[in-house]
Amino acid sequence: MTPLEFDFLKKYLKDRSGLVLSNDKQYLVESRLLPVARAAKLDTLSALVCALQRGGNRTLENDVVEAMTTNESFFFRDKTPFEHFNDTMLPNLLEARTRTRSLRIWCAAASTGQEPYSLAICLKEAASKVAGWRVRILGTDLSNEVLEKARAGLYSQFEVQRGLPIQLLLKYFEQKGDIWQISPALRSMIEWRRLNLLESFSYLGEFDIIFCRNVLIYFDQATKTEILDRLARSIPDDGYLVLGAAETVVGLSDAFKPVPGRRGLFQRKQTEKASIPAPAPRLAAGLVGAR
């Protein structure tokens, strides 16, 4: 692949997904896109670049973006955000929402589904506290491929061993040969949608909690700021934003303030915000008090 072809791919991917690639990532591009080229019956990456430049092949265009933006995930990743969910976010919001008895949670970079399912497990484990509540969980990602895997709730032995305690595995999964499938009760709690964070998501309405972890690190500063400001318009004053361990709002957005003593957890500053279109679309809902 020539330097000009690599420059084309860098711009192509940034324009379509926000992904910013440094010059030392050419090896990563080649390793991920060569299989895409071969699947499309293209002999070289140069031929792939030519096909993208010609345009008109939506399947190839989507395959290229998905190959470069697919990231790994695992259950209860980093532990701390889920501890914050159990000991801070959930108790505070249950007290604040006693009238509506409703919560909306969005995992904005859901990948293969481990994060939304981890939250669903937390809610099931807190069933006595949320009995009768209507909890909606939305999982979105840019990649249709990972969303299909998430929707099926099927994971290998290796995947369920990463971060998932054995007692929760046996409680919420069914083994099917070498594969484990998460229970129908948990799958029914989550709706999956394809969504590009570079595009408007105001039509989704407000969420009490937004998990947007380990995705902003791939964007440039201007894109991070723009996404954070739009996320702020999707969270009420007492709602929460959860970022990854290596992510922050400092120097990027004045719309959020950190929650003291809770690393990676933020709330929107109480300033007037733009109105959110209503009503929000109906999402899959589960009464989490029942299994």
How does pLDDT run across 217-239, given as a tens digit for each residue?
888 999 999 999 999 999 999 99
Q: Given this model, what pLDDT does residue 62 score? A: 85
Could you give the residue range(s) of every CATH 3.40.50.150 domain in the chain?
A: 80-150+184-287
Which one of 3.50.50.60, 3.90.1170.50, 3.30.420.40, 3.40.50.150 gives the CATH number of domain 80-150+184-287?
3.40.50.150
Predicted local distance difference test score (pLDDT) of residue 276 = 44
pLDDT tens-digit series, residues 205-214: 999 999 999 8
The residues, any chain, with a CB within 8 Å of residue 255's CB and separated by 6 or more, are: 228, 229, 231, 232, 249, 268, 269, 271
* Tens digit of each residue's pLDDT (9 = 90 or more) over 242-288: 999 889 998 999 999 999 999 999 999 876 544 444 444 444 444 44
Is the confidence at residue 93, as pLDDT, over 60? Answer: yes
The pLDDT of residue 70: 67
Of 32, 134, 193, 233, which is the active-site residue?
Answer: 32
154-190 burial, b at 16+ Cβ within 10 Å, e below that, comes to: bbeeebbeebbeeebbeebbeeeeeebebbeebbebb
Higher pLDDT, residue 16 or 75: 75
Weakest-pLDDT range from 10-14, 99-103, 138-142, 147-151:
10-14
State the pTM of this model.
0.82
CA atoms within 13 A on the CB side of 147: 19
Catalytic residue of the set 141, 208, 213, 262: 141
Residue 271's pLDDT is what? Answer: 60
Residue 12 DSSP SS3? helix
Q: Give the pLDDT score at 27.
A: 83
CA-CA distance, 35 to 39, in Å (whole number)? 6
CATH classification number, 3-69, choose in 1.10.155.10, 3.40.630.10, 3.10.105.10, 1.10.3470.10: 1.10.155.10
Q: What are the Cα distances from residue 237, in Å, to 86, 234, 255? A: 19, 10, 11
Residues of the chain with CATH 1.10.155.10: 3-69
Q: Is 141 tagged catalytic?
A: yes
pLDDT above 60 (res 110): yes
Average pLDDT of the segment spanning 121-135: 95
